[in-house]
Structure 1
């Protein structure tokens, strides 16, 4: 079941997303959160930090599991997803750093790192809420459109459009990694609840394909239609075709 929430501005977008997450943490202090990177959740994380500082919510018993990480970037690289999460959220709340998990992208053996993260997810059990952004080609995590999709954590070759979209964060397109470790579609769909967030006119077409189009490996996000509990937060532009 997909519940679509349309908001009128950036503030509502961020407050609605943060409110859903904060309410879950308040209800279940030991919550397991699946988290995402990219520009979409930044405002949500900022609002969660504000709620923590206001004493509204505490993350000290919570744990987190990130979707993905570039291969070949050390943890302290400005564009690594571990550094992103530390700077945008973890360094500013009371979730113990040892309770935060991001795939290891700088391992000497990327396949082993993917396998280890998959074991970690299995041991953790069901994630209570998985936060997702949406790529222009329908990718969630780094699960790119393909003939087949992987269920578990795996290594992926990044689509050229994905690399181009992320090139703005690097000095040049040549610096953008070509591979990543990502949770698989099966791992994502195991979550009790999924929170998908998208904003901007450039996302309207892919939002419609993901939520209303055929379920196909050519649009990985379309598999969210099979999940029993999906909340989608859209601004008016991203939601203009649904």
Structure 2
């Protein structure tokens, strides 16, 4: 696991974008696993800048998003389809048939999950972009006694609902369920890029990266993956101690 801590947000965004671009340029048919939320917004802006400058093309890329709310149509301004379209897909040269998100409006959600897993199996992810929730969730894999490997419908926990409420006019409008890639799907990516910002995430960053591997902190399972890069701002990394970073398991810069 390679950990990099940045003093400036734009440097973190540029570093993340560069890693994604390296994957796109270095792979004939690149498959990207993408994330939403406030964390990757600057990364998508950096990618768009590089695309508009002619530095990268996405026409041969395929994308799979981690998750989507159940019950929000793609045109809803808080759906993850809307987020991805307006911030990224509408502005690049990717073919729409190569863009995949779970369908939270599907009549049969279980069938939708099975279909998403079949597509992931047919096009393994080269690089998976992740954030982390305050309770250690990745995607919408919430802490539990046992975690699901494949794509599934999840009941969002209260802490996650509260964190997402700021994006909705009323807390009652926050969807209670989501479709998410499972932990197994995430860990099957050839490489993983975890990006975390803010002092409010510092405690869960240390728990996930240096604590015990446990389903009560789903992000701790990233410790089992052979190719994880972690990009933190200084605030998010503030609880990592010298003895954490001197571990032979972790590489730090």
Which bracket does the TM-score occupy, shorter chain normalised? over 0.9
Counterpart for residue 167 of structure 2: 169
Runs of at least 4 residues off by over 3 Å: none
Question: What is the alpha-carbon distance in structure 2 between the residues aligned to residue 238 and residue 142 of structure 1?
Answer: 20
Residue 49 of structure 1 aligns to a residue whose secondary structure is helix
**Does the CA-based 8 Å contact 1:29-1:58 persist in structure 2?**
no
Report the Cα offset of residue 115 of structure 1: 1.4
Partner of 1:61: 60
In structure 2, what is the equivalent of residue 13 of structure 1?
12
Which residue is 1:147 aligned to?
145
Q: Which runs of 5+ in 1 are unaligned?
A: none
Offset at 1:129? 0.2
Deviations 1:142-171 (A, max 9, x none): 000001000000110001110110111111
Question: What residue is the counterpart of 1:70 in the other structure?
Answer: 69
RMSD value, Cα: 0.7
**TM-score, normalising length from structure 1?**
0.98
TM-score with structure 2 setting the length: 0.94
Cα displacement string for residues 46-97 of structure 1 (whole angstroms, at most 9, x for unaligned residues): 0000000000000000110000000011111111111110011101111111
Shift of residue 175 of structure 1? 0.5
> The residue matched to 1:228 in structure 2 has which SS?
coil
* Structure 2 equivalent of residue 90 of structure 1: 89
Aligned to 1:111: 110
Counterpart in the other structure of 1:101: 100
Whole-angstrom CA distance in 2 between matches of 1:119 and 1:163: 29
Q: Distance in 1 between matches of 2:87 and 2:29?
A: 21
How many angstroms does 1:31 deviate by? 0.6
For residue 30 of structure 1, report the CA deviation from its aligned partner. Answer: 1.6
Q: CA deviation at 1:29?
A: 4.2
Counterpart of 1:189 (choices 187, 206, 212) is 187
1:99-139 deviation per Cα after TM superposition (whole angstroms, max 9, x unaligned)? 01000001112111111111111122x21000000100000
Instruction: Give the match's secondary structure for 2:42.
Output: helix
Q: How many matched pairs?
A: 240
Q: Distance in 2 between matches of 1:24 and 1:73?
A: 31
